Amino acid sequence: SYCEQFITVIKNLVLSCLIISCFTCHSTLPFKSLGSARFFFFMYLKEVSYVIKYFFNLKQALRGTGLLTSDPRLKDCMQQIHQAVQESVGTAMMDQELFRKCVGSNIVLLTQAFQRKFIIPEFESFTSLINHLYYNAQAQKGGKVANYIPQLAKFSPDLWGVSLCTVDGQRHAIGDTNLPFCLQSCVMPLEYALAVHEAGTEQVHKYVGKEPSGLKFNKLYLDEEDKPHNPMVNAGAIVISSLLKPGSNKAEKFDFMMDYLKKMAGREYVAFSNATFQSEKETGDRNYAIGYYLKEKKCFPSGADMMAALDFYFQLCSIEVTCESGSVMAATLANGGICPITGEQVLSAEAVRNTLSLMHSCGMYDFSGQFAFHVGLPAKSGVSGAVLLVVPNIMGVMCWSPALDRVGNSIRGIHFCQELVSLFNFHNYDNLRHFVKKLDPRRQTGHERNKSVVDLMFAAYSGDVSALRRIALSAVNMELTDYDTRTALHVASAEGHLDTVKFLTHTCKVNPNAKDRWGNTPLDDAMQFGHNAVVKVLQEYQSIYTHTLMPEELRSDMCPDSTMDTEELKSMEALESLV
């Protein structure tokens, strides 16, 4: 059947991808050329029909890396597979030509994926922790759904979804992530970013300030210069609406904004809720009052129509997204204005920088200061229950739950953001080197250890004490072993590097009794190669280590009745003076 043929081709392709992933540890191979694909095919796919049953399908394999088969970057690959199935007669097999067609245009992306070269290499482990945070936040009860806009009041307070997208296009979603909801105030940073991108920072801030107001978002209040305090309050957003596409009619302005938002979302779901728009207009007395107040204070640019600006503002608040499309928008901000799943430059770096700065200081209503203190990340909330969170240079997150706290923020969304930063070192001011209590999902666990072993052994082999000191200050375990269970002290002793041996023993206080796979200690190696000065240092240090540094249970096993004599005490004092 068609489905069986499709699955067969998929499995053939994933075998190819997995072989690439297994083989890409050899950095000398030219993976970025089409010749690489041909090489892999001839070397490993001659017996492909006999090994298909042992491999997962492509969708599962890609999911482990965070990529979706619906990713626009994989469009050519997926189209080639569908075409191969449609054109095949009988069982669709993967031959050399089909393999080249399928992976040729995506070889770089697939290699990065299976080599775990994305920003979050251990993506499955990371998402399992995200799921745990999601369920913890789901247990948060209380709050009320916004009811001053009738369309918002229809949502259940139990709805809860979280979606994330990294700057490499890795995706994860859990909960009610495909239900559309209105952006409401979450559109404010997006509107501001476009205004700065089009008109520039100086022009935009002639009409709107940059300071937190310290007041409710819908207050009739301006700063000392008679300007709205910032673009993240209603007054500021209404003024920004008048700055977008000046001189254009309403339809052109709306189409312009929708096209921009769709680019930010990677052409994923972005729609317009006319019912919400009508509700906004019918119940927007406060916003009309703000509009007339702004007009009276001459806050609008010359020639701007206040009522047209208000209408446009209501339209923007009524634009619908899902958690999944919203997370791509957030990821575009995290990625410097480049959409991670299309590679399209949507915003300038200046616009993104300014937007994230204002989101950090003004994005969470009356809770902005506390959010900046506890979470330390740019975010914007809306009364629909949305929280758009940006982790710069890593990922974007969209949380959605309609139950709001007293200041209008999603209770579950706030809890999730706080727990996210408590678990991972995403806070803007977390120390990435020394703050070991938090997890860093950007690190490759196995790769980091292997790199540490290589650096440590090479520094010991070459007698580079400065390099060893840097490694020690990076909190690396100086007793790490290689595949022969040899330590850096073994290597330094065998090479006769006296200063290196002194540093490892006197300063790092490593174990001198460690044995390699052949049962040799560092002292044995030094004696075997005739390094007498090293032998003397190791013998003195061994005695001191046995009596003072070795764990009590091991010390009692080795020398239960031993006590240090005067000479040993003098030696210890001399060694300590060198540390």
SS (H, E, C) 35-91: HHHHHHHHHHCCCHHHHHHHCCCHHHHHHHHCCCCCCHHHHHHHHHHHHHHHHCCCC
pLDDT of 576 higher than 50: no
- When mean pLDDT is compared across 354-358, 462-466, 471-475, the lowest value belongs to 471-475
- When mean pLDDT is compared across 396-410, 471-485, 516-530, the lowest value belongs to 471-485
* Cα dihedral 244, 249, 253, 259 sign: negative
Tokens standing for residue 374? 């506890």
Fold: same for 2-114 and 445-578: no
pLDDT of 560 higher than 60: no
What kind of architecture, by CATH, is found in domain 445-578?
A: Alpha Horseshoe (1.25)
Each residue of 375-384: pLDDT tens digit? Answer: 999 999 999 9
Q: How many CB atoms lie within 10 A of CB 303?
A: 8
Measuring CA to CA, how many Å separate 260 from each of 255, 413, 461?
Answer: 9, 26, 57
The share of the chain scoring above pLDDT 90, in percent, equals: 60
How high is the pLDDT of residue 435? 57
Q: What is the mean pLDDT of residues 445-470?
A: 85
* d(C-alpha 371, C-alpha 402), whole Å: 19
For the chain, give every domain's residue range.
2-114, 126-423, 445-578
* d(C-alpha 126, C-alpha 439), whole Å: 10
How high is the pLDDT of residue 59? 65
Split at pLDDT 50, 70, 90, the class of 107 is confident
Q: How many CB atoms lie within 10 A of CB 49?
A: 13
Split at pLDDT 50, 70, 90, the class of 117 is confident
Tokens standing for residue 368? 């902005």
Measuring CA to CA, how many Å separate 304 from each of 203, 285, 436?
Answer: 15, 20, 54
How high is the pLDDT of residue 565? 47
Q: What is the mean pLDDT of residues 547-552?
A: 65
What kind of architecture, by CATH, is found in domain 126-423?
A: 3-Layer(aba) Sandwich (3.40)
Each residue of 142-176: pLDDT tens digit? Answer: 899 998 888 898 999 999 999 999 999 999 999 99
The full length of the chain comes to: 579
Domain 2-114 has CATH 1.10.238.210: yes
Taking the model in full, what pTM does it have? 0.72
Split at pLDDT 50, 70, 90, the class of 17 is low
Segment (H or E) for 173: strand 171-175
pLDDT of 116 higher than 90: no
How high is the pLDDT of residue 48? 42
The mean pLDDT value of the chain amounts to 83
Tokens standing for residue 537? 């240092």
